Amino acid sequence: MNHANLFRWILCAIFFFAFIPFSFAQKADTIKIGIAGAHTGDLASYGLPTVRAAELIAGKVNAQGGILGRKVELLVEDEACKPELATNVATKLVSARAHAVIGHICSGATKAALGTYKDAGMIVISPSATSPELTYSGQYPNFHRTIAPDDAQARLVADFAVKNLELKKIAVIHDKGDYGKGFAEFAKKYLEESANTQVVLYEGITPGAMDYSAIVQKIRHVRADAVVYGGYHPEAASIVQLMRRRNMKTIFISDDGVKDQTFIKVAGPAAEGVYASGPMDTTNNPQAIAAINEHKKAYGTEPGAFYLNAYSAMLSVLNAIRQAKTTDSEAVLKALRAHVTDTPLGKIKYNNQGDAIGVGFSIYQVKNGVYVEMK
């Protein structure tokens, strides 16, 4: 290939790409909602339900003539839950002048992207990023979420242990991971706030180790009434089984990493009576039933993770635009905090930090091989 030929190709490429801004300009009268999250890679199952929720709502709204006379347009961008890709996606959405973003999915990627959105004054609502600092730090006034932060879970578990079960001596164990240790740290802090309760043991275990007999011996040695465990179900199943085989009656309380049917399958009879926190059961909410049926009708399957959270996020931002009668982000931000939206998660609005009010966790207990919500 000679130089003239190469030059021609480059010229073609320049002409080709030169048309893109023009095509954006033609659609200027739509309401653009960015959908950012993991749509490929091993965490795609967490991100794709959000895309589907947004598509279903956009389709419905557009069929009824849109909002403020403008159609809703989705800008779907994939970042595979990688922080470095998330910043690219954020830049892309900002330059495409999206009015709001539903996303991102993972806490790490969300945090990476938030700075870019903040500088552009763009509203972001995540259906799934649970890291407490995203809202508590106060750094990101543009950030909202329709899922409760991790520490809310720890607060609930600590209150349940102290007030409902009236436990005195508690061992807090975690798996040293970001999620498990984060939960355990908050749980320990909240448990220690109570005068009658004592944290007698606070330790990390190695996930995937061959056996956990030593830590179980230690739990028995400190005579703990209960174990609060932060982590996922494989290790929890092993610890519970070892405790029950040693005839220990120690109560076992854990987080939503354990509130999974696999835990009950693996731990078997030892799982009976175990408490775990998990997202509130909203399956009786008529809105939730309708949203799930919509998904089944359109895609033929049960919706995946965070579908209802994403559905609610999308509804609330569109409702805020409708109430504000403009897409100006200042006005929409005010509307998000002032107006209640009826969603599959219940009637929600956002507090000044950006957390949805009325969204939260419940305690579940294993009874006859299934998790039952405690009222």
Partner 1 sequence: MNYFWDLFLGGLTRGSIYALIALGYTMVYGILQLINFAHGEIYMIAAFTALIVASILTMQGLTGFSVLILAGVIAILYAAAYGFTVEKIAYKPLRQASRLSPLISAIGMSIFLQNYVMLAQTSDFLPFPNLLPQSEFLDSISAWIGPSDFIIIVTSSVVMIALSLLLKFTKMGRAMRATAQDREMAMLTGVSVNRIISRTFIIGSALAAIGGLLIASHVGRINFYIGFNAGIKAFTAAVLGGIGSIPGAMLGGLVLGLAESFGTGYISSDYESVFAFTILILILILKPDGILGRSSQQKV
Is residue 311 within 8 Å of 53, Cβ to Cβ?
yes
Q: How far apart are CA 332 and CA 323, in angstroms?
A: 8
| 167-186 residues near partner 1, rule: CB under 8 A | 176
| Contact range with partner 1 by CB under 8 A, out of 112-120, 239-247, 248-256, 302-310 | 239-247
Distances (CA, A) of 153 to 69, 183, 282, 313, 361: 41, 8, 17, 20, 6
Q: How far apart are CA 307 and CA 49, in angstroms?
A: 5
The residue with tokens 């579908």 is 307
Beta bridge partners of 367: 370
Nearer to partner 1 by Cβ, of 241 and 327: the residue is 241
| 297-356 residues near partner 1, rule: CB under 8 A | none
| Contact range with partner 1 by CB under 8 A, out of 29-37, 207-215, 300-308, 327-335 | 207-215
Query: Min. distance of Cβ 212 from partner 1 in angstroms?
Result: 7
The residue with tokens 């992207």 is 113
| Contact range with partner 1 by CB under 8 A, out of 10-18, 74-82, 218-226, 250-258 | 218-226
Show the site string, 246-285: x = touches partner 1 by CB under 8 A, - = not.
Answer: x---------------x--xxxx-x---------------
Q: Of 188, 233, 259, 349, which lies in the binding site for partner 1, with binding defined by CB under 8 A?
A: 233
CA 156 to chain centre: 17
Nearer to partner 1 by Cβ, of 8 and 246: the residue is 246
Is residue 308 within 8 Å of 295, Cβ to Cβ?
no
Q: Of 11, 12, 214, 370, which lies in the binding site for partner 1, with binding defined by CB under 8 A?
A: 214
Q: CA geometry: angle at 374 spanning 369 and 292, to 5°?
A: 75
Q: Of 118, 168, 218, 337, which lies in the binding site for partner 1, with binding defined by CB under 8 A?
A: 218
Q: Quick one: DSSP state of residue 287?
A: H
Query: Min. distance of Cβ 214 from partner 1 in angstroms?
Result: 4
Nearer to partner 1 by Cβ, of 216 and 317: the residue is 216
- Helices marked H in 64-122: 83-95, 107-120
The H-or-E segment that residue 228 falls in is strand 226-230
Which residues are near partner 1 by CB under 8 A?
176, 203-206, 208-215, 217-218, 220-221, 233-234, 237-238, 241-242, 245-246, 262, 265-268, 270
